[in-house]
Amino acid sequence: MLVEGDVVAVYEDFAAYAGAADDSPCFTEWALGVVGDAEVRAWLETLPAPKRQPNLVFAAARWHGVAAPAPYDALRAALLGDDGSVRATILSRATQTNEAGRMATLLPALAAVAALGDEPLALVEVGASAGLCLYPDRWGHRYRAPDGEVVHEVGVGEGRPVLECRVDGAGAACAPLPGRLPRVAWRGGVDLHPLDVTDHDATDWLETLVWPEHEDRRRVLAAAVEVARQDPPHLVAGDLVEELPALVERAAAHGRVVVQHSAVLSYLPEPARRRAEELLRGLVAEGACHWLSNEGPDVLPGVTATGPAPPPGLFVLGLDGRAVAWTHAHGRTLTWTAPDPDLP
């Protein structure tokens, strides 16, 4: 999904994604409305390029009272009639979608790392937002076949909230679905603007970022916030390249380090993305950590190239630079593609 560039191209791309990958008729209509609306495009072009992202603009409009789902005219009126409030929100906030559902797609790779020894995991997340994806051990995970039949459960019961994920195709046959939850001894992360999970304004913004039709994601978010509030993670503010080495070193005192990120590097300019990838590969080569990436196929082409090309709209899950699965951007599906389920 395009994050920056020509407004028409960005919003056309978002419309295709919203219409196919996750089925948001409202956001599809809004994005296509922008494509055909010269006045709104001109308004958007007065914003800094990184701030023109559809998710951010739509969320800011909803933050200031635009109902959703609603016809495109409601969004248009809010933007063209803005008294400065919507613009201020766009400029001051970010698309920090903290999709806890992704933990169900990350879990098999995390469990494979955990199986390497008896020590617990120490999780470090890049682009952590509020750190809601750092609690795979506090959730139950239920995996279903495409026909809806439950094929595997782990951690279900004992009062844990449950994430649902469909395993497709090869994934249903060979994904290394774990028999037990990993032990996690430490949770931390870095973000340019980390969100405090105990701050209700911050968590209300996270809820606004959830697409309007996705009641299931809102329920997961509410549960994830409650989980994290019981044991808030250690989050630091700053640039990932500058802050990550010290975080990895700190995490290493607690267990086997795994650095993870989902739908994060796409928001970095290309030079910064390359620096981040170089750093992560270097940390893996040094034995300082394992690296779990979950990004669009064009974000880390070197990882994507190590596996089969994913269908449109899916992410590539990588472990230590090797593609191992295709995942849905919000954690709804997992298709394992690595030929050998024994990882890493």
> Average pLDDT in the 306-334 region?
94
Query: Which residues have a Cβ under 8 Å from the Cβ of 110 and sit 6 or more positions away?
Result: 121, 136, 182, 258, 260, 292
At 78-108, the pLDDT tens digits run 999 999 999 999 999 988 878 999 999 999 9
Torsion of CA 197, 82, 75, 88, to 10 degrees: -20
In the prediction, which pLDDT does 105 show? 96
Residue 343 has pLDDT above 80, yes or no: no
Query: Exposure of 196 by Cβ count < 10 A (0-12 exposed, 13-18 middle, 19+ buried)?
Result: middle
**Distance, CA of 299 to CA of 173 (rounded, Å):** 28
**Distance, CA of 265 to CA of 299 (rounded, Å):** 7
In the prediction, which pLDDT does 5 show? 77
Instruction: Share the mean pLDDT of the chain.
Output: 93
In the prediction, which pLDDT does 342 show? 55
pLDDT band at 305 (very low <50, low <70, confident <90, very high): very high
What DSSP character marks residue 175?
-
At 212-223, the pLDDT tens digits run 999 999 999 999
- Per-residue buried b or exposed e for 35-53, using 16+ beta carbons within 10 Å of the residue's own CB: bebeebbebbeebeeebbb
Residue 172 has pLDDT above 60, yes or no: no
Tokens of 33: 């409305």
**Distance, CA of 196 to CA of 202 (rounded, Å):** 7
